[in-house]
Amino acid sequence: MIQTLQDWLTNLANKQVVHADQLLVTANQRLSRHILRLRQLQQGVPVLPNQNIASYEQWRSNLWSYCEDRGWVEGTVINKQQEQFIWQQLLSQSNQTETLLADNKSLAKALTEARIIVDTWGIPHDQIENANHRESSFFLEVRTNLSSLYQEKGWITPELQSNKLIDLFNTGTLKKYSGMGLYGFTELNPLQQALVTSATNNAQQLPIEKCDQASVGLIECADWETEIETIARWAHQTLRQNPSTQIGIVVPNLQKHRSQIECAFIRQFDNDYLLNPASSGADKPYELSIGSPLAEEPCIADALLLTQLLHKKLPKEEALDLFRSEFWGQNTEARLLALQGLNDWPMASVDTIRLTELLSKAEKRIETANELNIDQFNDGATEVAEETTTSNRILEAIQLYRLAAHKLDFQHWNGFLKRFLKALNWPGNRTLNSREYQAVEQFKLILDELLVDQRCFIGSNLVTFPAYVAHLRQRLSEKVFQQQTPRKPIQISGTLEAIGLSFDKCWVANTTRSQFPESPQPNAFLPLSLQKAFATPRSSPQKELDYAQQLLTIFSECANEVTFSYSKTADDEHQQVSPLLPPMASKKLDEEQLAKNLYFDKYNTASAYRNFCVFSDLCGLPLKHSQASIKIRRGVNALSTYAVNPLYAYLVHRLGAKQPNPVYVGISPPQRGNILHNVLETFWETTKNSAALKTKLENQTAFLAELEALISDNVNAELHKHLQYLPPQLLELEKQRCLSVLVQWLTLESYRAPFIVAATENAYAIELKPISFNVRVDRVDSPTSASGEPTGNSILIDYKTGSTPLSLLQRAPLVEPQLPVYTQLKELSASAVALGQLQPNNCTFVGIGEDAIQIDGVDAPSKLNKYDLPDTWEQVLDWWQQELMKSVTGFSEGNALNITTVKTYENRFEHLQPIVRKTEQEKMADISKKAEVSL
């Protein structure tokens, strides 16, 4: 008499078997947990001993360990991943792989599957050989090599492991079970059948439980995306109506569609997750049976990324990702500060030493800020810098790596990697959430498994560190990470994992003609005739047809309410529903009505809240400040951006939405500006005044030689700073260009009235409450009298290698506030401001100042009298101060109006267009149009 699962469990529990005399074996571990959980939820039934239920793989592994402890068996069991690694080594030594037109990794996977089929279904080698199949002959040749290697190394396959256990049962070494129930198997392969038969004389294939009164329906969706969204909405609404409902969702090829399905369910259930991707996800009401590769977990991916620091260079994008990571380092603020400098890096790759220099400078700035009690980021006091900084630890790790042997075994590289990650404070200072903690623990287990992999080397087991990291990355990519959480009411499973599970409601997706049944996929290394004769998996259309029919029958009876669905189109191809669906599923449900029902609940919820909170997006958060001014970085640039568009200033300077610098071939325009600034600074340090300039110009040879030397030094320094290389011809052209511009500029300066250079490139701190920032004035000149004495006036000069119209200093708002900001420095007592425009064949002064200033291009306000500029210099200074304070006040208060004042500046902020809202002018136009329509 065939027992049901419940009868078997009750009988097993009533006997209270302490030792596993009777056993329930399931098809997978997930099904074992499901059965135990359901048993625990039942009222008034005996508790089932956990040791009396196990998955087939778990049972076989426990048996092997039991025999190993008693010395009955010996040998190292090689798992599937390790076998593929061995195959790859064998294939690299073979001279026939090139004719097979596949890479070694793909070949190794196919050969492993072929070997498993042969050993599991017992296909004789002589029959394979007699088939005269080219790929099969290759398989037999390399299989012979593999078998010899296994015998030499003392390795055994899982199939040989099963055969050894069979022998132990048959000889009486292992005691037979008095009874064994098998649940969740669609069929047993020959080797499984042999092991079960040898283990007990009373094995029963328990029928999969079914609901006799199941209600079955069919949904037709427009496409696959719509089908996924419909399933997610249905699950959401079903759970809202009854939180205790057990929901099953079966998705064929779940691994392929995993990311799409997870995104759809996140949109339905996880609003908090969207705002905080670092959340552990433990509160999600759904669970996917198939996890993601461990290498894709953020904390593990960052650990692998850290190993790139041991290379001489790494791509800029990887360096940016590394500096944004929260899973390493002692001082997160220092890395974020260094990130700003890294964003400005002009090259596609970055030298590791350069990265440590950026980090070191940032750490020193943070330390200095702490000592002076200055808050650089408006977020409160920063942490005190560590005695051993992150940058120093990176340098120490690089030094240790370079001192290490060129090749080491996995054990030594494991130790080095652990010390390296610990030195860099991986996985970070904050407490890890549950998912991150489990991922880190799994990472440690993989490192231990590498020691077993080390025994799988055919030749020397000494490898370089990059080869070690590559193998580690492959193992982490192959390892499927599944976060362990309490049972969730929504179970999303693949077809194999769903067999034997029972639910209150179930939805089976993608039930198309191409999926049920699937096309056969026989193994390419075995004769097709033999695969059909031995009825191996995926070998024939009839095999696939029978399997698909069996699956659909099981799923149609796994819940009280079952819904099948399919898409009319997928990948631009027309789809048809599977003809194998049970007759009761032939009635189609109305997709449109279903969609209305799914959305109705959300509509009612939203309509219940009449008094919505109106949030204005015209203003962001104000800067935090007390009595002291807030120190901000790039203050002049912030005021300039605010004058162009307040919203742009908030996004760029408050939220950090900076545009990545473009990559230039050769020297970039900013670098050219730096070179000219540095040359002129050095030149005026020795020249001092206009009289000395004229004297130098009289000796053209010495004058040109001095400039050429200064240019050469500064060009080389700029290239070294950015680790650039220029071909000699291009380098010479750059130097000649600089020389031409400087000769023209200094010749222009020699025609000025007498002056002395009072200061060059001096730094000043300026305060425009409630903010303060640092500025660097390119040059301060003092005109002199006929006797050579300073007149007491100051001319503030700012070099520009581009073209800046003087009109921008004459109208509100001040989109070029640099010179007006300089005039707020009371210690300089500015009598004039001038832009020194250094352009090839167009070197000029443009500026505004008092009448007494005698420089061509620098005019008194009364002569200009355009736009908003007042008539006198004193009035100009007051007007500039008022305009600056308007920008300062608006910026500090968080004003975020989307109004652009100078359209020609908009191209500087093209990167913001995807995230900005409508301009205020567009909003007013929309209101006007609506008013016109209503009239």
In this structure, the answer to whether residues 115 and 69 fall within a common structural domain is no
Cite the DSSP H helix spans in 608-723: 635-644, 646-649, 669-687, 690-698, 700-721
Distance from CA of residue 94 to its chain's centroid? Answer: 39
- Answer for the pair 320, 358: CB distance below 8 angstroms, yes or no: no
In this structure, the answer to whether residues 493 and 545 fall within a common structural domain is yes
Lookup: tokens for 147: 């078998």
- Answer for the pair 423, 393: CB distance below 8 angstroms, yes or no: yes
Residue scoring higher pLDDT (271 or 525): 525
Q: What is the pLDDT of residues 167-192, one digit of tens each?
A: 999 999 999 998 898 998 988 999 99
Lookup: tokens for 907: 């191209």
Q: Is 909 a domain residue?
A: no
Q: Is 96 a domain residue?
A: yes
How confident is the model at residue 935, as a pLDDT? 40
Q: Tell me the three state secondary structure of residue 541.
A: helix
- Three-class secondary structure assignment of 884-918: HHHHHHHHHHCECCCCCCCHHHHHHHHHHCCCCCC
In this structure, the answer to whether residues 199 and 236 fall within a common structural domain is no
Q: Which residue has the tokens 């290379």?
A: 311
Spell out the residues 6+ positions from residue 116 whose beta carbon is closer than 8 angstroms to its own. Answer: 80, 157, 159
Q: What is the pLDDT of residues 755-792, one digit of tens each?
A: 999 999 999 999 888 888 899 999 999 998 877 788 77
- Answer for the pair 898, 917: CB distance below 8 angstroms, yes or no: yes
- Report which residue type is found at 494: G
In this structure, the answer to whether residues 86 and 231 fall within a common structural domain is no
What letters, b where the CB count within 10 A reaches 16 and e where it falls short, cover 292-311? Answer: bebbebbbbbbbebbbbbbe
Q: Cα dist. 634→81, 503, 653, 672, 773 in Å? A: 54, 61, 9, 20, 7
- Report the C-alpha gap between 155 and 559 in whole angstroms: 45
- Report the C-alpha gap between 917 and 896 in whole angstroms: 11
- Report the C-alpha gap between 344 and 438 in whole angstroms: 37
Average pLDDT score over residue span 193-200: 94
Name the nearest CA neighbour of 688 among 754, 640, 626: 754
- Report which residue type is found at 513: R
Q: What is the pLDDT of residues 6-46, one digit of tens each?
A: 777 776 666 554 445 788 899 988 888 888 777 665 545 55
In this structure, the answer to whether residues 279 and 262 fall within a common structural domain is yes
Q: Tell me the three state secondary structure of residue 703.
A: helix
Element (H, E) at 778: strand 771-783
- Report the C-alpha gap between 276 and 200 in whole angstroms: 53
Spell out the residues 6+ positions from residue 333 whose beta carbon is closer than 8 angstroms to its own. Answer: 366, 376, 377, 382, 383
Residue 517 preceded by cis peptide, ω within 30:
yes
Q: Is 262 a domain residue?
A: yes
Which of 694, 724, 751 is at the close of a domain? 751
Distance from CA of residue 576 to its chain's centroid? Answer: 38
Cite the DSSP H helix spans in 524-590: 528-533, 541-556
Q: What is the pLDDT of residues 96-130, one digit of tens each?
A: 655 555 677 888 899 999 999 999 999 999 999 88
Which of 426, 456, 481 is at the close of a domain? 481
Examine the pLDDT at 413 and tell me if it is beyond 80.
Answer: yes
Report residue 566's pLDDT band, with 50, 70 and 90 as the boundaries: very high
Q: 211-220, 552-561, 595-604 — which one is most confidently predicted on average?
A: 552-561
In this structure, the answer to whether residues 357 and 465 fall within a common structural domain is yes
In this structure, the answer to whether residues 840 and 815 fall within a common structural domain is yes
Q: Is 926 a domain residue?
A: no
Q: Tell me the three state secondary structure of residue 609.
A: coil
- Answer for the pair 862, 618: CB distance below 8 angstroms, yes or no: no
Q: Tell me the three state secondary structure of residue 485.
A: coil
Q: Is 273 a domain residue?
A: yes
Q: What is the pLDDT of residues 610-620, one digit of tens each?
A: 455 556 677 88
Name the nearest CA neighbour of 277 among 296, 298, 260, 261: 298
Q: Is 934 a domain residue?
A: no
In this structure, the answer to whether residues 169 and 24 fall within a common structural domain is yes
Structural domain for 343, as ranges: 294-481
DSSP string, 723-739: T----HHHHHHHHHHHH
Q: Tell me, what CATH number does 247's domain have?
A: 3.40.50.300
Number of domains in the chain: 6
Q: What is the pLDDT of residues 890-918, one digit of tens each?
A: 999 889 888 888 888 888 888 888 888 77
In this structure, the answer to whether residues 177 and 129 fall within a common structural domain is no
| Lowest-confidence pick of 150-164, 362-376, 434-448 | 362-376
User: What percent of the chain is helix, strand and coil (3-state, nearest 5)?
Assistant: 50, 15, 35
Element (H, E) at 366: helix 352-371
Q: 496-505, 615-624, 660-669, 863-872 — which one is most confidently predicted on average?
A: 496-505
Q: Is 531 a domain residue?
A: yes
How confident is the model at residue 929, as a pLDDT? 53
In this structure, the answer to whether residues 31 and 174 fall within a common structural domain is yes
- Answer for the pair 738, 676: CB distance below 8 angstroms, yes or no: yes
- Report the C-alpha gap between 36 and 247 in whole angstroms: 18
Q: Is 342 a domain residue?
A: yes
Examine the pLDDT at 321 and tell me if it is beyond 60.
Answer: yes
Name the nearest CA neighbour of 598 among 231, 267, 261, 228: 231
In this structure, the answer to whether residues 83 and 70 fall within a common structural domain is no
Lookup: tokens for 516: 């049920």
pTM for this predicted structure: 0.63
Which of 444, 464, 481 is at the close of a domain? 481
Name the nearest CA neighbour of 826 among 876, 781, 764, 889: 764
Examine the pLDDT at 523 and tell me if it is beyond 60.
Answer: yes
Q: For the chain, first and last CA: distance in Å? A: 84
In this structure, the answer to whether residues 881 and 777 fall within a common structural domain is yes
Mean pLDDT, the chain, whole residue set: 83
Q: Which residue has the tokens 């908009």?
A: 906
- Report the C-alpha gap between 735 and 720 in whole angstroms: 15
